[in-house]
A = this chain, B = another copy of it.
């Protein structure tokens, strides 16, 4: 099991690279991570990286794809775990926040991608993630309207935007002050307010 061989397989190295980037992004500006640093962090020479990735851009794409897949699967699993639309939304909210706490480098990476004007592969991955995420939220909100947990008069689209914005607002604050505590502490209160915004008025 414990491979004592010096040479690792290409797949192992690619997985190591993703992990290395995530760890480095947690402690420094992701935009300033160099291939030299990534290589050093995974016990490889700088040039050795290019045996497994054709370019630095391909490394980023791989990392972003891992993030999109992982976050979506966690949020989707959270959505299924609850037995009412509102509780599903709450579980999704908390799963998203928990992911940001577990991988503090990820929001920093995403914010770094935002300013780019070109449609980078990374940006496309984020946009597609946000779309799938939005569809899941739309479904839960519509279900909520059906069963009377959510007010039918509100715009579902606006509620989706508010949900995502609420999470992002918390994350931005945490990133800005470099303090994940803001996230853990603020999340329940933030969701409570979101719930007030969408609940059925009497």
Taken together, the copies of this chain in the complex come to 2
Q: Please report whether the interface of chain A is mostly helix, strand, loop or mixed according to DSSP.
A: helix
Q: Which of A105-122 contact B (CB under 8 A)?
A: 108-109, 111-112, 114-117
Q: Which of B117, B159, B186 contacts A161 (CB 8 A)?
A: B186
Per the bound structure, the CA–CA distance linking A192 and B158 in Å amounts to 9
Q: Is the beta-carbon distance between B154 and A196 smaller than 8 angstroms? A: yes
List chain B residues, Cβ under 8 A from A158: 186, 189-190, 192-193
The yes or no answer to A69 lying at the interface (CB within 8 A) is no
Which residue of chain B has its CB nearest to the CB of A115? B108
Most chain B C-beta atoms within 10 Å of own C-beta, residue among A28, A173, A197: A197
Per the bound structure, the CA–CA distance linking A55 and B116 in Å amounts to 24
